[in-house]
Amino acid sequence: MKKHRAFPGWVVAAAALLAVLTGPAWAQTRVPTQDIKGLTDPAGFKRYTGAVLLYRDDAAYDEVRFPAAKVAGQNDKLVAPRNLDRAGQRMALQYVAPAGRSSLEVLRGYQQELKAAGFETAYECAGDACGGSNIFTYSLPRSLLPAGWAGKVGDNSPAACAAGGTASDLRYALLDNKASGATLAVLTWNPDITSVYCDEKEFQKRATIAVVRVEPKAREQQMETLSSSEIAKGLDANGKVAIYGILFDTGKADIKAESKASLDQIGGLLKQQTGLKLHVVGHTDNVGNLPANLDLSRRRADAVAAALAKDYGIARDRLTANGVASLAPVASNGSDAGRAKNRRVELVLQ
């Protein structure tokens, strides 16, 4: 029987490497010619002609801090000296434009269309005036798109390739509709450096488009109101209990009317247990800067203590108000759901 010739180890290793480099794992992500499967435009919203939808994320209720000035890095966060803070129904979209269309041309197209719908440009910038070109460090796309964007699109998807690692011809416009209360931001850029898994030259020929819109909408009350007995059990078992039924508008400390059911239960418990003394502690998510959130959380706790004293006859010396901002989270602030859990009032035994 004829013996087969044995190849040197380096030849085998080289062949294996070649197989990896030329096989499916090295296949480049192409510019898509049609919308990513399962994605559609929101009802009534127009896209730029010929653009392909790569990403969509909706939230029934969210808050967005729209930069209205140059974005800069500060303590590992992105901040701007001026912002438009909006809360309501939020949509976030990412498209890739047809080849040969500049970022400016795409942006002007959106501005013209939206002006007819009542939107006025509140702020506009280009390039370094927006805050730098690096998409994933200190730039507008990172500060504007939902926190879960990177995890949802993955490393080598069309959306990730279109975003790029750095950007050129970055353009941004913030538009506000004073009649409807809606706010919308349009961001366009060309990816410079992309992953080796992306068809870089083709993606570089096309502008990427990100659109984030918030429309006024009341938050649906999904949290169940804790009864006075449930609050008492929580205090006995853990020394504290989180109350999610006390509601405030974004950035404000005025208690909303729909908070009455929760206040009734807290007031009832304090009337039943006349010796009970509580710390009322306000908590926020990490949106915004810490000093402002510390002040906001304290004012919200003060408002709760004041309401219990005024409306339920609870002696004020039984209630001590404190605010800790985002310093005691119960969930990650990297998602909408996590931030919602962190926005709460806690009752803590004295």
Task: pLDDT band for 136, please (50, 70, 90 cuts).
Answer: very low
Q: Mention every residue, 6+ apart, whose C-beta is less than 8 A from residue 261.
A: 225, 245
Task: Count CB atoms within 10 A of the CB of residue 169.
Answer: 16
Last residue within a domain, chosen from 186, 215, 244: 215
- Whether residue 145 lies inside any domain: the answer is yes
In this structure, the strands spanning 240-243 and 183-191 are unpaired
* Least-confidence region, from 48-52, 144-148, 217-221: 217-221
Task: Say if residue 181 is in the same domain as residue 233.
Answer: no
Within this chain, do residues 207 and 259 fall inside the same structural domain, yes or no?
no
**Higher pLDDT residue, 12 or 213?**
213
Q: How many domains does one find in the chain?
A: 2
Same-domain pairing of 59 and 160: yes
Whether 180 maps to a domain, the answer reads yes
User: What is this structure's pTM?
Assistant: 0.61
Contact 140, 67 (CB under 8 A): yes
**CB within 8 A of 54, min separation 6: which ones?**
32, 35, 36, 39, 94, 95, 96, 153, 157, 158, 159, 162
Is 66 strand, coil or helix?
strand
SS (H, E, C) 317-347: HHEEEEECCCCCCCCCCCCHHHHHHHCEEEE
Residue 155 lies in a domain: yes
| DSSP 8-state symbol, 312 | H
Percent of the chain with pLDDT over 90: 61
| 168 vs 132: CA distance, rounded Å | 10
The stretch 235-248 carries a mean pLDDT of 92
Mark whether 240 and 202 lie in a shared domain. no
- pLDDT band of 232, cuts 50, 70, 90: very high
CA-CA distance, 269 to 145, in Å (whole number)? 43
Query: What CATH number is associated with residue 330?
Result: 3.30.1330.60
- Strand 278-283 relative to strand 319-323: parallel, antiparallel, unpaired? parallel
Residue 132, pLDDT above cutoff 60: no
Determine contact, residues 209/141, Cβ cutoff 8 Å: no
| Pick from 63-77, 189-203, 231-245: least confident | 63-77
The answer to whether residues 328 and 270 belong to one domain is yes
> Which string of b and e fits 63-81 if b means at least 16 CB within 10 Å?
bbbbbbbbbebeeeebbbe
Q: What is the mean pLDDT of the chain?
A: 86
Both 238 and 172 in one domain: the answer is no
Domain assignment present for 7: no
In which band, very low, low, confident or very high, does the pLDDT at 146 lie, cut at 50, 70 and 90?
confident
Same domain, 210 and 264: no
Residue 196: inside a domain: yes
Domain identity same for 71 and 188: yes
Residue 208 has pLDDT above 50, yes or no: yes
Q: Specify whether 174 is located in the same domain as 211.
A: yes
CB-count burial class (<10 Å; 0-12, 13-18, 19+) for 38: exposed
Cα–Cα distances (Å) from 187 to 51, 105, 126, 163, 209, in that order, read 14, 12, 10, 11, 6
Give phi and psi for 19, each to the nearest 5: -65, -40
Helix or strand (DSSP H, E) at 205: none
In-domain check, residue 13: no
Domain boundary among 183, 215, 247: 215
Domain boundary among 162, 187, 215: 215
- Please report the pLDDT score of residue 338 as a whole number: 81
Q: Tell me the two tokens of residue 301.
A: 């706790």
Residues 277 and 201 in one domain: no
Q: Output the pLDDT for position 267.
A: 95
Q: Which residues of 172-196 are buried (b: 16+ CB within 10 A; e: fewer)?
A: bbbbbbeeeebbbbbbbbbbbebbe
- Note whether 133 and 279 are same-domain residues: no
The parent domain of residue 269 ranges over: 228-349
Does 208 lie in the same domain as 69? Answer: yes
Mean pLDDT for the stretch of residues 153-170: 88
- The pLDDT value recorded for residue 12 is 41
User: What's the pLDDT band for 326 if we cut at 50, 70, 90?
Assistant: very high
